[in-house]
Amino acid sequence: MASESDPAPSNFIRSMIEKQAVDTVATRFPPEPNGYLHLGHAKSICLNFGIAEEYNGWTNLRFDDTNPDKESEEYMSAIKRDVEWLGFKWKSLCYASDYFDQLYECAEALIKSGDAYVDSLSAEEIREYRGSLTQPGKESPHRNRSPEQNLELFREMRDGKHSEGDHILRLKIDMASSNINLRDPAIYRIKKTHHYRTADKWNVYPLYDYTHCLSDAIENITHSLCTLEFEDHRPLYNWILEKARASTANVELGHPVQTEFGPLNLEYTVLSKRKLIELVQQGHVRGWDDPRMPTISGLRRRGYTAASIQEFCRRIGVTKSSAVIEMSAMETVIRDELNATAERRMAVLEPLKVIITSWAADESKTLEVSNHPNDPDLGTRQLPFTREVYIEQSDFEEVPPPKFKRLIPGGEVRLRSSYVIRCDDVIKDANGRVVELHCTHDPDTLGKKPEGRKVKGVIHWVSAANSVAAEVRIYDHLFNRPDPLAEEDYINAINPDSLLVLENAQVEASAAQAEIGSRFQFERQGYFSVDNDSTPERPVFNQVVGLRDTKN
RNA sequence: UGGGGUGUGGCCAAGUGGUUAAGGCACCGGGUUUUGAUCUCGGCAUUCGUAGGUUCGAAUCCUACCACCCCAGCCA
């Protein structure tokens, strides 16, 4: 786990800051509240908050809420909760919408200085005029309207005197620029949507490129960290700030610098808000917090800890290349943490009844069992041993494959923390299915090795009379190929078997009583957390991750 | 065929002219083990996209080439 002895590894952003020798690093995490946070955001959060903390700085949480069509209060509170849960504290909670007045004032100043103009071309015309990747664009016939004319039109736009799409405010930069972002980008559009924070005050809303740099500057952000796809926007970011500083607008602006890092990609899943929204809305998953989802809320429900997600982000590093991380990197962090911290329990997922014929029907012996094999501090618990127990169906084979170490007819196996038993009889139903085993126990094997023979297998079990019926949910990858986006439609790559529900599991009583969110290792099977759906009458467990399996 | 980026083992990733080219994940072996887990020991790039060049010395500097990613929303 992350600790003082395990410092954050060197990366290009840290090196850059070292060279700058600045005295404070101010960052921001700027999500648009149009969906739930996922692992890609976790990487950005860890980077932004982590680097600021490391250099005596601070980080703002800023909602980039400039498109009221897509944003909502629900998303906003989910984002706040997730950032807090991950373990980070922001200095200020900010909203781009808090700057709408300043942004507007600045836009008027840019109009007055001749750096912005109102265009009245249609969206399609503007697209045509923009040119292509290899062809320069051409100037709009409205490009040379006077500042007075532009100001009047822009104010009319603001005052709701025009319809959506009729006009747009653009920067006057260079229609022939090889960087398409500089071909007179739009900075304000007419939109009459109700905004969840500013209500119906505005008929015009600023666009991302215009809003983001100014918001950073207003908040005195020093390091504006974003993903690679914004590299092309950096010249625009700087252009706007330069013009804004030179303008007459009464807005105090700092000097943020944008730096881009590679986005996170994870095998067998998708990390894009748009696609995650589709998975939720089309019902491919049970919700944003479905334990199969790569969202923070999904991982939390699955049983991942905040520490494990932070550790994952530390391990994957920060570079300028877009990494595709194997799922095992994610699984190993939570497995490591839970191996150290999770108490052990026994649970039989697919039960097979075993009668210990040598054990009296009315006898129950209480065994003292340790909660963790390597950590005595985790204590012990009492476990009853009775005549009837359940073992895993897969722990018995009539015709064992090579190297099978579990129970076979006439063979012996250790019941974990209990006796060695021998299988005497196999009871089958009319279809030849094994429904019950008759075994005898060796009374001289409790807490000691049997004499004169070695018993190689150890299997888990529960007392039939003292275990509790439970539901256990086993998860597999959401997609059945490592690169679902390579599919013509990624929806076709959805794994139909990503959720396996075992309705008839039997868990020992002490696990059945656990609170929602608590985690155990079910011995030999993996780590499990108590799901939100769990009740004392009907416990429900999620498999967080399996144990490493090196057999075969 | 415009612009912006990236290329170090299967996946990440340190490295910034002189190191036997860190580390993690994965994988493969040995040992311990009442979890086929854990733990532990060991193995795993004569080579850094390719080809040239500079240098006593190159993953690090230069040149050319190749591959992949991003950009033509009134989304962010």
The per-residue pLDDT for range A342-392, each reduced to its tens digit, is: 999 999 999 999 999 999 999 999 999 999 999 999 999 999 999 999 999
The C1' atom of B55 and the CA atom of A484 lie apart, in whole Å, by 48
Q: Comparing C-alpha atoms, which of A350, A341, A371 is closest to residue A510?
A: A371
For the stretch A259-297, pLDDT in tens is 999 999 999 999 999 999 999 999 999 999 999 999 999
| pLDDT band for position A6 (cuts 50, 70, 90) | low
The arithmetic mean of pLDDT across residues A416-432, rounded, is 97
In the beta sheet, which residues pair with residue A215?
Answer: none
- What is the spatial distance, in angstroms and rounded to an integer, between the CA atom of A234 and the C1' atom of B4? 10
- Identity of the residue numbered A319: T
Per-residue pLDDT at A9: 82
For domain A267-341+469-552, the CATH architecture is Beta Barrel (2.40)
Cα distances (Å, whole numbers) of residue A485 to A37, A285, A293 = 20, 18, 16
**Percentage of chain A surpassing pLDDT 70?**
99
Which amino acid, residue A50? G
Model pTM score: 0.96
Nearest nucleotide, CA A523 to C1': B35
Q: In the beta sheet, which residues pair with residue A29?
A: A61
**Distance from CA(A385) to C1'(B75), angstroms, rounded:** 62
Residue nearest to nucleotide B38 (CA to C1'): A339
Asked if A484 and A267 count as a contact pair (C-beta separation under 8 A), the reply is no
Rounded mean pLDDT, A476-494? 96
CA torsion angle for A263, A264, A270, A272 (degrees, to 10)? -40
CA of A136, C1' of B71: distance in angstroms: 14
Which single residue has its CA nearest the C1' atom of nucleotide B10? A326
Cβ–Cβ under 8 Å, residues A103 and A318: no
- 3-state secondary structure (DSSP) of residue A431: coil
pLDDT above 90 for A518: yes
CA of A32: nucleotide with nearest C1' = B76
Q: Find the range with the poorest average confidence among A7-16, A106-115, A151-160.
A: A7-16
pLDDT for residue A552 is more than 80: no
**A132: closest CA among A175, A188, A86?**
A175
Give, in Å, how far the C1' of B5 lies from the CA of A293. Answer: 30
Beta strands A116-119 and A168-171: pairing type?
Answer: antiparallel
User: What value does the mean pLDDT take over residues A476-505?
Assistant: 97
**SS3 for A396?**
strand
Q: Which residues pair with A116 in a beta bridge?
A: A171
Query: Which nucleotide does the CA of A69 lie closest to, via C1'?
Result: B75
Closest nt to A326 (CA→C1')?
B11
Measured CA to CA, the distance from residue A509 to residue A325 in angstroms comes to: 39
Helix (H, G, I), strand (E, B) or coil at A511: helix
Closest nt to A226 (CA→C1')?
Answer: B76
**The CATH homologous superfamily of the domain defined by A345-466:** Ribosomal Protein L25; Chain P (2.40.240.10)
Whether residue A256 contacts residue A295, with contact meaning beta carbons closer than 8 Å, is answered with no
| SS3 state of residue A340 | helix
Q: A108 CA to B53 C1', in Å?
A: 56
Q: Which nucleotide is nearest, taking the CA of residue A119 and each C1'?
A: B74
| Distance, Å, A354 CA → B73 C1' | 65
Q: What is the pLDDT of residues A429-472, one digit of tens each?
A: 999 999 999 999 999 999 999 988 899 899 999 999 999 999 99
Q: Both tokens of residue A31?
A: 């999500």
Burial of A247 (0-12, 13-18, 19+ CB in 10 A): buried
* Residues present in chain A in total: 552
For A290-340, the pLDDT digits (tens) are: 999 999 999 999 999 999 999 999 999 999 999 999 999 999 999 999 999
d(CA A502, CA A471): 6
Strand B, nucleotides < 7 Å from a protein CB: these are 1-8, 10-16, 22-28, 34-39, 69-76
- Mean pLDDT calculated for residue range A33-52: 98
Distance A20 CA to B69 C1' (A): 29
Distance of CA A137 to the CA centre of its chain: 41
Q: Give the span between the Cα atoms of A313 and A55, in whole angstroms.
A: 19
Cα three-residue angle A225-A52-A40, rounded to 5 degrees: 45
The protein residue nearest nucleotide B7, judged by CA to C1', is A321
Q: Where in chain A is the domain with CATH 2.40.240.10?
A: 267-341+469-552, 345-466
Spacing of A472 CA from B64 C1' in Å: 60
Q: With contact defined as beta carbons under 8 Å apart, do A116 and A150 qualify?
A: yes
* CA A20 from centre of chain: 33
Give strand letter and number of the nucleotide nearest A273 (CA to C1'): B76
User: Interface pTM (ipTM) of the complex?
Assistant: 0.97
Query: Residue A120 and residue A184: Cα distance in Å, rounded?
Result: 13
